[in-house]
Copies of this chain bind each other. A is one copy, B any other.
Amino acid sequence: MRHDSRQTDQLRPIKVERRYTKATPGSILISAGDTVVLCTASLDNSVPPWKKNDENPSGWVTAEYNMLPGSTSPRKQRRADGRSSEIQRLIGRSLRAVIDFEALGPRTITVDCDVLQADGGTRTLSITGGFLALLDTVLAIPETCELAEGEVFDPKKVFTNSVAAVSVGVVEGEPVLDLDYVEDSTAGVDMNVVMTGGGDFVEVQGTAEGLVFNRGMLDAQLELATLGIEQLTAIQRECIGGDWPL
């Protein structure tokens, strides 16, 4: 049994608050147990510098990840580090994997994932919540942006799929789903899995933490992750309700 009485294949309680702040239509406060992330997606009506010279430039999505200093104890210093940079590259890649940039048009969306409280799994929760913030910002484009002459913008075409993420790991020799900080710090293997709502893999990142792992253990973790992503996708869909584009 896990230290918080969860089953090995059980997610922590997930809560999602849509439109948490008002500066942008895409603003999601998402929590998994005691991990809380604020995801906002800000739209800029321009294309990134390296697409500027294209004839019909398509859009772009980028992500930033940051832990607030008070989100953890002891306090985390407020400066960019290698870990944050690596995580925000992962989030960006994961979100871009389900976007059709032609359909997005010449726009750049930045998804900011700011961790208010950190109890393990911040990067995967950022992807799950970041997708929702991105979705809401895209859905609002017809009301918030002036379209180009002749442009027909269909938010549904922007998304080729939904995306969510979850961590799995091996704790005391047993594969478990959605590790909190206590489990994470004793895990022998730490794995982050990003999958589409359609059940395909976007990213698999498994790391031995003091304990190398064989193929059987790898397979067991991938199974758990697949189960977790199914539940997270259902939660995402419920949050958006009738606006769900897929």
Contact = CB atoms under 8 A, between A and B. Distances in A.
Contacts of A116: 21, 38
B212 A68 contact: no
Contact of A74 (B44, B117, B208): B44
A24 interface: yes
B42 A70 contact: yes
- Total copies of the chain: 6
B205 A204 contact: yes
Given A82-B85, A110-B75, A38 B201 contact: no
A208 B195 CA distance: 10
A185 interface: no
Interface string A156-193: 00000100000000000000000000000000000100
Contact of A97 (B73, B97, B198, B208): B208
Contacts of A36: 21
